[in-house]
Homo-oligomer: A and B are copies of this chain.
Amino acid sequence: MGEPSTKNALIESAIRMFQQNGFQMTRVSDIVADAGVAQGTFYNYFKSKEEIFKEICNDFIDQLQKKFIERTEHMFDGDTADEVISNVHRVVRDVTRIYQDNLNVAELLFREGIGNGGIFKEIYEGMFFLFLELIEEQVEKAVNRGLIEIEDTRIGSVFLFGLFERSLLYFMLIQKNTDIEKLERMMVDFVLKGLSFNYHFSV
């Protein structure tokens, strides 16, 4: 019975420590001290310091990817402007929820992925490219359907993703008292206008 609790304790401690001091600056000894187990115990559950980091991120990434794929698929669906807006809103809201529910891990992944640390760049950039592809696909469809207008869909997609990710992390991590629903609403509004959305559209 020791297993699940010990492993969980290690994971929780690792998240806490990684967030506080970053991956590189966190020592395995910090993690085990925080978890209250012996140094060697760590290696009964994880092959290395890297492995626990990846294990921590994987759940979040899986969840996020799954939802992202599932949601973006219908991003600009709808027969009327209101339906489209509502769908865009749903994407924003659902993805925001996942960030909210995994805020610590999201920050971790974001920071280590962008930082030059090395190994985690791949994980992060893999995610980034996937999301970019998915968004671009939808943007193209929407352009084709005459819903929005944008000179270059790749550039437009980078705008969307950059704006989304950066804002989310800023308001969730730094300016924490922000009204997230307002943020979502404004984001949808800003992005649709930026994309020259045809507010009078109807099939």
Which A residues form the contact surface with B (CB < 8 A)? 18-19, 21-25, 108, 110-112, 114-118, 150-152, 154-156, 158-159, 161-163, 165-167, 170-171, 175, 178, 182-183, 185-187, 189-191, 193-196
List the 6 closest A-B pairs by CB distance, nearest first: A115-B115, A22-B116, A162-B166, A194-B194, A190-B194, A163-B163
The answer to whether A25 touches B171 (Cβ under 8 A) is no
Q: Tell me the smallest distance from the CB of A26 to a CB of chain B, in Å.
A: 9
Residues in chain B near residue A183, CB distance under 8 A? 155
Q: Point out the residues of chain B lying under 8 angstroms from A116, CB to CB.
A: 18-19, 21-25, 108, 111-112, 115
Whether A190 pairs with B114 at a CB distance below 8 angstroms is no
Cα of A194 to Cα of B148 in the assembled complex, Å: 13
Of chain B, the residue at the smallest CB distance from A174 is B125
Q: Once the chains are docked, how many angstroms separate the CA of A171 from the CA of B159?
A: 11
In the complex, are the beta carbons of A114 and B117 less than 8 A apart?
no
Given that A116-B19, A187-B159, A194-B190 are known contacts, is A151 also in contact with B24, CB under 8 Å in the complex? no
A197's nearest neighbour on chain B, judged by CB, is: B193
Highest count of chain B CB atoms <10 Å: which of A111, A158, A189, A195: A158
Task: Given the known inter-chain contacts A158-B171, A162-B170, please indicate yes or no for A117 contacting B178, CB distance below 8 A.
Answer: no
Q: Tell me the bound Cα distance from A42 to B23 in angstroms.
A: 27
Q: Is the CB of B115 within 8 A of A117?
A: yes
Task: Please pick, from B22, B150, B162, B194, the residue contacting A117 in the complex, using a CB distance under 8 A.
Answer: B22
Contacts of A108 in B (CB 8 A): 116
The residue in A155, A175, A186 that gathers the most chain B C-beta atoms within 10 A of its C-beta is A155
User: Which chain B residue shows the least CB distance to A129?
Assistant: B174
State the CA gap A175–B21 with chains docked (Å). 31
CB-CB under 8 A for A190 and B156, given A115-B115, A151-B182: yes
Task: Tell me which of B115, B150, B161, B185 contacts A111 (CB under 8 A).
Answer: B115
